[in-house]
Amino acid sequence: MKETAMFTRDQLKEAMKEAVIKFHPFKMLSNPVMFTVEVGSMIMLIITLLSGISAHKADVGILGPFGFNLAVTIILIATVYFANFAEAIAEAKGKAQANSLRQSREDTPAKVLNKDGSITITSSALLKKGDVFVCSAGDPIPMDGEIIEGLATVDESAITGESAPVIRQSGGDKSSVTGGTKVLSDKIKVLVTVVQGQTFLDKMIALVEGADRKKTPNEIALLILLSGFTIMFILVTLTLYFFASYAHTNIYIASYLALFVCLIPTTIGGLLSAIGIAGMNRALKSNVIAKSGKAVETTGDVDTILLDKTGTITIGNRKATNFYPVNNVDKDYLVRRSVLSSMIDDTPEGKSIIELSGMDPLTFKVDNPRFIKFTAESKSSGVDYTDADGKQISIRKGAFDAMRKICMLAGNDFPPKLEEYVNLIASNGGTPLVVAENQKALGVIELQDIIKPGIQDRFLRLRNMGVRTVMVTGDNPLTAKYIATKAGVDDYIAEAKPEDKLAYIKKEQMGGKLVAMMGDGTNDAPALAQADIGVAMNNGTQAAKEAANMVDLDNDPTKLIEIIEVGKQLLMTRGALTTFSISNDVAKYFAIVPALFLATVPSLATLNIMHLHSASTAILSAVIFNALIIPALIPLALKGVTYRPIGAVELLRRNFLIYGIGGIIVPFIGIKLIDMILTYFI
């Protein structure tokens, strides 16, 4: 999926053919600006034929000379062709990506699990929603689904382009698998969750081929504006005929059409579709599948983004950093009890407690241990065992509120000193774990999150773009505030539940804000659906992927920031080229209008500031430049203007200085050079 060249030779050949097919009037109707140019070129073709027939006449009248008409006709057809080519080359890049994806969607054998436990080998094309299939090491995954039993490492390079295998397992938020990937180890049972033709790969192929590309609201608005300009200049050109009659000036039909085509915004009209398609392609290069062009564009207008703390702002693996005993408990005693409670805790936090202690729990003598796993309801874990004296021991470690409840229900005091430690740890951005033995508090374990390097700079970039960042965490308010301040986010939601995220998004939207968020679990689905931009992890649940309008193939929680930058770049590119296109008209005006009336109104010579050779070369130079500027700007339309995290006012100023003034200067230089070349050959 990663490309180095802007386009390949095969893509160029495909685009050159497709650009001819796009001349069909029904295809051109979707682009009103270029449709009028095509109509103009067809009129010019008729005028050229008529002028050829009457070429022997001394007075050519408004038909004009055959050679001049032929040149204008060819240039106008070339203008339409270049605009079609810009769109076709963007589509060709998408089709090339689709072809590489299509290779992953081969008809593969599927081991379907029957109700009696037997296995039937069938084609992946025959799988239905609700079927269950089995995959072992080395088997390709034949269809999208959810793992209902087992754990396996999966090679997803065919989709993501990344060679590192990933772990997928039943339950939790990493249970989704995609057809076309491959199991590398272990064995899994998968429930088919989609119907044929609606798999993830099918949707990806349709999207990158452009089959599902619809014009975005901003694109439609710009097309309406450009159409308005076109209608206005039709009236201007028609009105010019009466001025010419009044001035007793004979202006050729070709000159009227040349003026019209040069004044309407053909540059942005020719590149508009290519900019939108290229925006989706750039998102795909970042390994993000956008379900529509609207989704990519909307990211550029996002005002607020919701980001999970763990794995996005912090590295995600909290580590034990200290032990704080209370009630005159010896620190070594607290450490030993903390290690005992973590003997089968295979979480990074549990392992870090044992690592910090420096003890080997296997050397501890405990009889008949019964390990208690952590649950969301109990918010604690631990072990029950019999010690060497035959005494029953119960050790628990867990969240402050859960452990306080356990101790107080047993009639034991909860030391004020312990609460001081809990508040101190939380205010320093840590997570306190209270340890108790037989419902009596022993002390606190301090866990610390590590903020990702460079995350503050990324948030600063977003702030410079006018985007607010909101951290979502299950931590208590003190811890949440510390991490939020240290990371540099604008707001936070502490002790967040799914309904809290949904409520926050709705509140922002009621204030007229566009909101983006990222999630991977089924409980994130309502918020993902409510958000203006919902980005789901590819390894997340099917519910999350269905609710979101983008899917991140890399499963990178920070990708949301990158996606917003892609959307901003799309809007910046469209705005820059629109500014450049409209500014172009100034130079063309000074080239063509003096040329039309110079013979009968000599005073207009002062407007010929470029000192063009003649009326014919002036008009031809303007239309040639008008045609050539479209292919010249195709690389910029596909690649996008250089992205900078700046505010709207600064962006407007930059566009005006670079693309506004540049859009005036470049045509003056280009038209003059073309005129000099034409003068040399005439």
The amino acid at 620: L
Whole-number Å distance between alpha carbons of 293 and 215: 7
Please give the backbone phi and psi of residue 30, each rounded to the nearest 5 degrees, phi first: -70, -15
To the nearest 10°, the Cα dihedral for 264, 266, 271, 276?
20
Which residue type occupies 437? E
Contacts of 626 (CB under 8 A, 6+ apart): 75, 79, 261, 262, 266, 267, 584, 588
Nearest to 618 by CA among 252, 110, 298, 366: 252
Marked catalytic residue, from 131, 144, 202, 308: 308
552 neighbors 535 (Cβ within 8 angstroms): yes
Supply 284's token pair: 């795909």
Q: Report the b/e string of 5-16 with b at 16+ CB within 10 A.
A: eebeeebeebbe
Q: Is 387 a catalytic residue?
A: no
Return the structure tokens found at 46.
């008729």
Residues whose CB falls within 8 Å of the CB of residue 594, separated by 6 or more in sequence, listed in order: 604, 605, 607, 608, 618
Q: Strand 550-552 and strand 288-290: pairing?
A: antiparallel
What's the rounded Cα separation, in Å, for the pair 312 and 320?
A: 20
CA dist 680 and 675 (Å) reads 9
Phi and psi (nearest 5°) for 74?
A: -60, -40
Residues labelled as active-site residues: 308
